[in-house]
Structure 1
Amino acid sequence: YPYFTNRLVLCLILLVVSFAIFIPSLDNEFVWDDVTFIVDAESYLETFDFNPAFLIQKPKSSVKYYRPFFTLSLVTDYRMWGLSPFGYHLTNILLHSACTLALYFMVLVLGREFRLKSPDAVAFLSSLLFAVYPLHVESVSFVSARADMMAGMLLFLSVGFYALSYKKLLYLIPAALSLYLSLYTKEVAYSFPIVLLGFDVISRRLFNRINIIKYPLLAVLVSVYIVVRLDSFLSGSDLMKQSIVRGLSGIDAVKEFLVGFLGSYLYYGWRFIYPYDLNHFISTIPGGSAFYITLSAIFVLAVVAACIVSMKKKENYTAFSLLLLFATLGPAVMIAIFPTAITRFAERFMYIPSAGFCMLAGYAIVLIGSRSGVKWL
C-alpha cells in the first residue's frame, strides 16, 4: 500500500511537470508540415470514415511515409477542435505526459527485472529528466512531430509488458498490440523488434521455452505489416538516387557510407550530452576530416564495448539503456544516409533515443547519491 501511494504521487508529479513545462506552446500556431497535414487537408479530415480496417489498407502507391495511426490522431483532433491550433497543441502536450508516464512504467519494470537497489528512484528521476529534456521542444511544439511521441509511448508500453509477460503470459497481448500499432505510427518502429530481442539477450532469456509462443506471434504481426506496406516501399533505386553514396561505387561508396554512419552517431551522441543551442533547421553536421572520422569510430566502438562489458558484468540495466539509445537512433542515422525526409538531421529524431540517455543519467544520479549516503525511495 505505501509503495502504491508513493508511486501514485510520483506519477502525479511527472504528469504536472511534463504538462506545465510546455504550456507556452498552447499559444503556438500551425507551422511547417502542420499546414500540409491539417489546414490543406481539411476536406480529407472532415470526410474521413472511422473504420478499423483503415489500419490494414494497402497504400495505393509508393510513399515515403505510411502512418495511419498518426493520421487517426489528427482526424480525432479535427473532429474536436476544427482548425484551432490550441487543441492540437494540447493533444501534443498530453501525449508527452503520457509518454513520460509510460517511460516511468517501463523503467520501473526493468528496475525490478534487473534487480536495481532503488528501482523507484531510478524510474522517477529518469522520467523526470525525460519530461524536461531540452531537445524535446521540437517534438512537442510541432504538431506534425507527434508521431515520435506516439511511437515512443507505444515502445515503452511494449517493453514494459513484454518484460512482465515472462511472469504472466497474458501481458504479451498488450506488448504485441503496442508493437503492432507503433509500426503504423512512424518508421522508427522498425527498430523496436530489435529492442525487444535485445531485452531477451541481455536478460539471458533468448532461449526461454515461452519464446516458442512469443516469437511466432510477434513475427506474424510484423509480417502482416510488411504485407500491407510491401507494395508502397520506396524502391532500392529510388533510395540510392537520394543517398549520399549516389554516383559512387566500390571503396568510395563504402567510405562515404561509413563517414555518414559514424559521423551521424557522433553528432547525435554529442547533442544528448549538450542538449542546448536548439536548431530546427540542421542543414549539415561537422565531419569529413580524418580526425572527426576517427573520433566518430572511437565513439561508436566505445558505446558497443560499454554495452557488451555491461552485459558481462551483469549491469543489465546499463546495457539495455545503451541498446535502446543506439537501436532507436539507427533510423535517424539511416535518414542521414538515405534522405527520405526533407531534413536529413532533426532534433525530433532524438525524442525516443533520449529515453535511453535519461535512463542512464537517472541511474547514475541514484548511484552517486547512494554512495554519498542518500536514502532513496
Structure 2
Amino acid sequence: MKGGRLDRLSDWLVALLVAEVVVIAFFPAFRAGFVSWDDDTYFLNNPYYRGLGPAQLRWMFTVTSGHYMPLTWLTHGLDYVLWGMRPAGYHVMNVVLHALAAAAAYVVALRVLAAAVAPEPLGARRLAAAVAALLFAVHPLRVESVAWITERRDVLCGLFFLLAVVCYLRAVEGDTRPRRGWYWSAVALAALALLSKAMAVTLPLVLLLLDVYPFRRLGPWRWTRRDVWLEKIPFFVLSAAAAVMAIVAQRSVGTLSDLRALGVFERLGLAAYGLVFYADKTLVPFRLAPLYEAPYDYTTLTAWFAGSAVVVVAAAVALVRVRRRWPGVVAAAAAFVVMLLPVLGLVHFGLHVAADRNTYFAGLAPAMLAGGVVLRGLRGASSPGAARATGAVALAVVVVLAALTWRQSTVWHDSRTLWDHALRVSPSSIAHAKVGVLLDEEGRTEEAIVHFREAVRLNPDNAYAHNNWGIALGSVWRFDEAIAHFEAALVVKPTYAEAQQNLALTRLRLTNPLGYLEAQRAKRESLVRGRAQ
C-alpha cells in the first residue's frame, strides 16, 4: 500500500513538472495583447460574452458564429469577470489550460507505454511518458492554439479530450467489464470537449484505435467483440450531434465551401497536401505562419496536390507492409490521420489550406510514438551510460523545441509583430491587408495603399482589402476611387455591412457634407453607448 501511494505521488510530481516546463516555454504569451485576427471580433467588439449573467449565458448557448462552443464562451465570460478587458488574464488562462492538458497527456502516455512496451522499470516509463507529453506540449505547432486568445477552444477541448481518454482507459483496465463510474465519466468529459470545440468528434475513432493497439481489445479474431463496439455508441452519438452543429455554425457565417466552389478532386488533393504539410511541419517546425492562405485559383496547386497524393499512397503502402513488425508506428500514423480528418478539407471552410492549430490533437500521435522509441531505447541500452545518453538526447530535443516555442510565442505579442512575421514567412493577401490597416491607423496612408494593392493583386476577391483600401482612399479625399473599392467589396460579399455603411457615408460626403457630419456624429455616439454597455 505504501509503495502504491509513493508511486502515485511520484506520478503527480512528474505531471506537475511537465506542467511547469510548459508554463516556462509559453511565458512570452503572458505579455501579449489582443491581435487583429478574430480577437477584435470575438472580444474587443463583442459585448455579449462579458459576464456570466442570464443574458450572457443565453447568448453563449445559442450563438453559432463559426463554431458552436458554449463552454469556451463560459471560460471567456469568467475571464471578463476576473480580468475585464486586460489581455494578460486571458493569456494566463490559455497557458494554464494547456499545461493541464500536458499533465493529462503524461497520464495517457504512462498507460499507453505500459501496454505497448514490455514491462520496464517504472522510472524509465515515467521519463519516456514525460518526454512524450512534452514533445506534444512544447512543440512550436502548439503556439497558435495557446498564444492566440481566440483559440482557447483548442486547449479547453484538448484538456477534456485527454481527460476522457484517461477515464476510458481506467474504465477498460484489465479488459474486464467496463467500470461504470469511469466509463460514464469518460462520456461526460467527451460531451464537455465537444461543447468546447467540435474537433473532439474524432474521439470514438481514437478510442477504437487504442482498443486495437496497444490494448488489443480488438484485432485479428477479435473484431466481432460486441461489447467493445457497443460501449462506443454514446461517443458516436455525441460526435454526430457535434458534427451537425459544427456544419450549421460554419454555414451561418458563410465560410463553408460548396462542391461548385471546390470539387471532389480538389478536396482529395487538399487532404493529401494537408497530411504531407502537417507531417513536414511536425518534423521541421520552422517558418510557421498564422495563415497559409488558400490560393485564388486552386489549379496553381495541382502539382503540389498530385505530388502529395503520391507521397500519401507510398506511405500507406509502406505502413501496410510493416503492420506486424511495427504496429506502434502504424497505430500512431492512423491516429495522426484520424485526428486530422475534420480539418483536411474534405469538408472545407475558411481562408486557409492549412493551419498550425489543426495539429493540436494530431500532435499527440507522433509524441506518443516518440515516447515509445525512447522507452525501447532505454530498454535496449547496453550499459547504464548508454541509457543515460538516450535520456539526455530525448531531453535535449525537448529543450530545443521549448526554445523554438518561446521564440514563436513572441510572434503573437501584438498585431504588428504577428502580421510582419506573416509577410516574412508566408506572404498572403490577408497578411498584406492586415498590415495595410495597421499602417493606415498610424497615418501612413500611402504605405498602407501599397499593401492593399498587393492584397488585391494576390486575391481580387478579398472584400476586406477592398473595403479598407476604400477607407484609406477616403481619408486622403480620393472619394471616387474609394467608392469603386467599396462597390468591389460588395460585389464579392453583398452582405458586408461595414462596406455598405462606408459606401453610403462616402456618397453622402460627396452630395451632402452637412448630412455626412451628422451621420458621423451619430456613429460616434453609438460607439460610445456600445462601449459603455
Q: TM class by shorter-chain length?
A: 0.7 to 0.9
Aligned partner of 1:105 in structure 2 is 107
Aligned partner of 2:265 in structure 1 is 255
Q: Deviations over 1:197-248 (max 9, x none)?
A: 2223342335445437623433454466578x39935669x777x25x5257
Equivalent residue for 1:299, pick from 311, 321, 329: 311
Paired residues for 1:1-377 under 5 Å: 1=3, 2-31=6-35, 32-46=37-51, 48-49=53-54, 64-118=66-120, 119-167=125-173, 168-169=178-179, 170-202=181-213, 203-205=216-218, 207-208=224-225, 210-211=227-228, 214-222=231-239, 225=242, 229=245, 232=248, 242-243=257-258, 246=260, 253-284=263-294, 288=301, 290=303, 292-305=304-317, 308=320, 311-313=323-325, 315-334=326-345, 338-373=347-382, 374-375=386-387
Deviation of the 1:91 alpha carbon? 0.4
Code of the residue aligned with 1:33 in structure 2: it is D
Q: Could you say if the C-alpha distance between residues 360 and 50 of structure 1 is closer, same or farther in structure 2, counting changes exceeding 3 Å?
A: farther
Structure 2's unaligned 5+ residue stretches are 392-533
Q: Could you say if the C-alpha distance between residues 100 and 213 of structure 1 is closer, same or farther in structure 2, counting changes exceeding 3 Å?
A: same
Q: Could you say if the C-alpha distance between residues 91 and 306 of structure 1 is closer, same or farther in structure 2, counting changes exceeding 3 Å?
A: farther
Equivalents in 1 of 2:322, 2:119: separation in Å?
17
Code of the residue aligned with 1:347 in structure 2: it is D
Q: Is the deviation greater in 301-310 or in 107-116?
A: 301-310
Q: Could you say if the C-alpha distance between residues 110 and 74 of structure 1 is closer, same or farther in structure 2, counting changes exceeding 3 Å?
A: same
Kindly indicate whether the alpha-carbon contact (under 8 Å) linking 1:114 and 1:317 is maintained by their aligned counterparts in 2: yes
Q: Deviations over 1:130-187 (max 9, x none)?
A: 2321111211110111211112222222222212211351211221112111111112
Deviation of the 1:341 alpha carbon? 2.7
Equivalents in 2 of 1:66, 1:302: separation in Å?
37
Equivalents in 2 of 1:231, 1:24: separation in Å?
35
Deviation of the 1:294 alpha carbon? 4.8
Kindly indicate whether the alpha-carbon contact (under 8 Å) linking 2:190 and 2:203 is maintained by their aligned counterparts in 1: yes
Equivalents in 1 of 2:319, 2:56: separation in Å?
43
Aligned partner of 2:508 in structure 1 is none
Equivalents in 1 of 2:267, 2:247: separation in Å?
27
Equivalents in 2 of 1:52, 1:105: separation in Å?
33
Kindly indicate whether the alpha-carbon contact (under 8 Å) linking 1:28 and 1:89 is maintained by their aligned counterparts in 2: yes
Q: Structure with the greater relative contact order (CA < 8 A, sep ≥ 6): 1 or 2?
A: 1
Code of the residue aligned with 1:328 in structure 2: it is M
Equivalents in 1 of 2:313, 2:110: separation in Å?
29
Q: Could you say if the C-alpha distance between residues 234 and 195 of structure 1 is closer, same or farther in structure 2, counting changes exceeding 3 Å?
A: same
What SS does the aligned partner of 1:138 have?
helix
Q: Is the deviation greater in 98-107 or in 304-313?
A: 304-313
Equivalents in 1 of 2:301, 2:376: separation in Å?
38
Code of the residue aligned with 1:23 in structure 2: it is F
The structure having more radius of gyration, on CA atoms, is 2
Equivalents in 1 of 2:230, 2:154: separation in Å?
30
Kindly indicate whether the alpha-carbon contact (under 8 Å) linking 1:149 and 1:352 is maintained by their aligned counterparts in 2: no
Equivalents in 1 of 2:306, 2:229: separation in Å?
43
Runs of 4+ in 1 over 6 A off after TM superposition: 50-55
Kindly indicate whether the alpha-carbon contact (under 8 Å) linking 1:191 and 1:328 is maintained by their aligned counterparts in 2: yes
Code of the residue aligned with 2:365 in structure 1: it is G
Q: Could you say if the C-alpha distance between residues 89 and 283 of structure 1 is closer, same or farther in structure 2, counting changes exceeding 3 Å?
A: same
Kindly indicate whether the alpha-carbon contact (under 8 Å) linking 1:161 and 1:174 is maintained by their aligned counterparts in 2: yes
Q: Deviations over 1:59-96 (max 9, x none)?
A: 5xx75311111111111111111111111000011011
User: Considering only aligned residues, what root-mean-square deviation do their CA atoms show, in Å?
Assistant: 3.3
Structure 1's unaligned 5+ residue stretches are none
Deviation of the 1:305 alpha carbon? 4.5
Q: Could you say if the C-alpha distance between residues 183 and 310 of structure 1 is closer, same or farther in structure 2, counting changes exceeding 3 Å?
A: farther
Q: Could you say if the C-alpha distance between residues 48 and 308 of structure 1 is closer, same or farther in structure 2, counting changes exceeding 3 Å?
A: farther
Kindly indicate whether the alpha-carbon contact (under 8 Å) linking 2:113 and 2:371 is maintained by their aligned counterparts in 1: no
Aligned residues: 362
What SS does the aligned partner of 1:312 have?
coil
- What is the percentage of aligned positions where both structures have the same residue? 23
Equivalents in 2 of 1:274, 1:64: separation in Å?
31
Kindly indicate whether the alpha-carbon contact (under 8 Å) linking 1:158 and 1:175 is maintained by their aligned counterparts in 2: yes
User: TM-score, normalization: structure 2?
Assistant: 0.60
Q: Deviations over 1:311-351 (max 9, x none)?
A: 534x55434322321111112212xx554234342111112
What SS does the aligned partner of 1:288 have?
helix
Deviation of the 1:100 alpha carbon? 0.4
